[in-house]
Amino acid sequence: MSNNEIIENEVEYVEQAGGDNSPSGLGLFVDKIKSWLNTQNKTLVYGISAIIVALLGYIGYQFLYQMPREKEASSAIYKTQELFDMDSFRMVLVDAPKLADKFSGTKGGNLAAYYAGASYLYTGDYKKAVEFLDKVSFNDQVMQYQVIGLLGDAQVENKDLDAGLKSYLKAAKSAENEFSTIWFYKKAARVHEKKNEWKEALEIYENLKKEYSENDGVQDIEKYITRAKAKIDQY
């Protein structure tokens, strides 16, 4: 016998024992117990049903919709990928933007957006480059910071210096190797120079000299430090 059946039997016993002479408070107490039982049962049934429906919906979405789309996208971008690897950027732009839109939400669509954004950047359409690169998201850390850096290039070329600076700093902090970190910090410093923020640029250059003195990437850092100091009359 289940717990609910036991409780219901106990409730029925209390009702019978109370009879016509039972006080009204006892009757109300019994009604509250019954109401609570009904509520709990319905909530449990609805809760389990909702979980099952959500689970079946997720499985159906993954196996009947998303997986076939992933496979189709992977096949569809093969030619575009080859063209990109050969630096045929104008040819890439024939199909890549359409594939990025058509397969949005898939790995293939993400790659197509990357190919489109990078190709727009390399062919001088910086506004379109920003539009597509801003959609790209890679789990791979190397590709992740490379995309952020390319986005920064497109933003700076598109005269959005604040956004470009933010992207360069983000790329520098997420880069996996010192060379890339130095590269993007230098780009960030040059944006500060364009904004006539020489103090901020100098801070970056001096920090690079301090933190990465043994790296070949800072061999020329002294000339940037000298120029920045001259701009803010530190000599």
What pLDDT, on the 0 to 100 scale, is given for residue 70? 81
Instruction: Please state the separation of Cα 208 from the chain's center in Å.
Output: 29
**CA-CA distance, 104 to 102, in Å (whole number)?**
6
pLDDT at 192 over 80: yes
What does each C-alpha distance from 42 to 30, 36, 39, 50 come to in angstroms?
Answer: 19, 10, 5, 12
**CA-CA distance, 127 to 149, in Å (whole number)?**
15
**Which residues, 6+ apart, have CB-to-CB distance to 6 below 8 Å?**
none
The pLDDT tens digits of the residues spanning 173-184 come to 988 899 999 999
Instruction: Please state the separation of Cα 192 from the chain's center in Å.
Output: 27
Mean of the pLDDT values across residues 98-104? Answer: 93
8 Å CB contact between 221 and 202: no
**pLDDT, mean over the chain:** 82
8 Å CB contact between 109 and 102: yes
pLDDT at 14 over 50: no
What pLDDT, on the 0 to 100 scale, is given for residue 207? 96
Mean of the pLDDT values across residues 13-42? Answer: 55
Its pTM stands at: 0.71
Task: Report residue 12's pLDDT band, with 50, 70 and 90 as the boundaries.
Answer: low
pLDDT at 185 over 70: yes
Task: Report residue 66's pLDDT band, with 50, 70 and 90 as the boundaries.
Answer: low
**Which residues, 6+ apart, have CB-to-CB distance to 219 below 8 Å?**
none
Residue type, 209: K
What pLDDT, on the 0 to 100 scale, is given for residue 171? 95
> Cβ-count burial of 204 within 10 angstroms (0-12 exposed, 13-18 middle, 19+ buried)?
buried
